[in-house]
Amino acid sequence: MILNIRITDRSDFKNWDNYVLNHPSGSVFHLTAWKSVIEKSFGHRNFYLIGEQQGKICGIFPIFEIKSFLFGHYFISIPFAEIGGVLADSIEIEQSLIKEALKIKELYNGQYLEIRNRKEIQGLRTKFLYYNFRKEISSDHDENLKAIPRKSRAMVKNAIKKGLFSETGHHLLPEFYNILSLNYHRLGTPIFSKQLFKNFLAEFKESTNILVIKTDKGELAAAVLFFLFKDQMLPYYAGSDFSFRQLGSNDFMYWELMKLAVDKGCRVFDYGRSKEDTGSFHFKKHWGFKPEPLAYQYHIAKAENLPNLSPANPKYQKKIKVWQKMPHSFTKIIGPFISRDLA
């Protein structure tokens, strides 16, 4: 059958999302709501490719173009997302969509194309920087609590004894953003604009929400913005106040999310990605989740080495230390101008 590849328009959005929802590798990041959020928040140009046979979608490939004075000119699937890449009915269609994407990269003189895959595909160079943590959960709260390894389970129980409690709702955005920006400053990472998170809540509606953890005195201890996708719970942006860590606020936050996941009918708890040998990597392992490597793959045009925009890159260490010493209020102002290109 003849394969027709073209760039999507708004009239395709419903069929695109239906394809994502029905594809076994479809993710929340592939949905057109993610496209809308990135467009509205950062203004990056995109090329959402559709493959069709006999008038029906048989493959999709979402791509964004990033032009940055600091980080170069590149194409990526998908920015600010854990995974992306091609969804297709066959390997042949997958390869055709990638070839079309490379034509676009060459037309606009991009330095490289980055595709964030769960599994490697042939013909591209691969970097294993991140690991994903996800597993099936029980529909029974007691079984899920027993499945948490002893030390982490003890932290959850300690938090309950200390009177920590959770609240959920879109109205908690200011509190969430405050604690997230404090965490980003501590890590030496530029914070996103609050508008990004407003857009997530507006575009995904009931499929995303905010959960905060407070002490028995009402003090904000931790917060997370999460997504619900099919039968999956995905905590994605999270932060906590270090002064409450001894209470088990982090462990309690994820326990509250796991309970909420069960109540929402989810079967999979997806802890998201972490770099190897980091604090979050070990935290997730201590919860009994097995790390699975993610294959971030590249087609390089103008550079010999694989790009590395990770904060772990040694060349960024001095900049990170300088950022950490800046006043927090100042980093909240200038951070969004830098983070928009840290896809």
The residue that leads in pLDDT, 325 or 195, is 195
**Integer-rounded Cα radius of gyration of the chain:** 20
Name residue 249's amino acid: S
pLDDT at 30: 98
Is 317 inside a domain boundary? no
User: Domain of 34: which CATH number?
Assistant: 3.40.630.30
Q: Are residues 150 and 289 in the same domain?
A: yes
Q: Are residues 277 and 223 in the same domain?
A: yes
Q: Are residues 124 and 16 in the same domain?
A: yes
pLDDT at 186: 77
Note the pTM of the prediction, 2 decimals.
0.91
Q: Are residues 108 and 144 in the same domain?
A: no
pLDDT at 308: 61
Neighbours of 190 (CB within 10 A): 20
Is 100 inside a domain boundary? yes
Q: Are residues 203 and 54 in the same domain?
A: no
Q: What is the DSSP letter of 275?
A: E
335 pLDDT tier (thresholds 50, 70, 90): low
Q: Are residues 104 and 139 in the same domain?
A: no
Is 16 inside a domain boundary? yes
Is 341 inside a domain boundary? no
- Tell me if 228 sits within 8 A of 263, measured CB to CB: no
Percent of the chain residues past pLDDT 90, beyond the cut: 74
Is 325 inside a domain boundary? no
Is 324 inside a domain boundary? no
**Burial category of 207 from C-beta neighbours within 10 Å (exposed 0-12, middle 13-18, buried 19 and up):** middle
pLDDT at 302: 59
Is 175 inside a domain boundary? yes
Q: Are residues 29 and 163 in the same domain?
A: no
pLDDT at residue 321 is higher than 80: no
Mean pLDDT of 281-299: 93
Indicate the number of domains in the chain. 2
Is 76 inside a domain boundary? yes
Which tokens in the block code for residue 260?
Answer: 């909420």
pLDDT at residue 316 is higher than 60: no
Helix (H) / strand (E) element for 105: namely helix 91-107
- Structural domain that includes position 175: 131-293
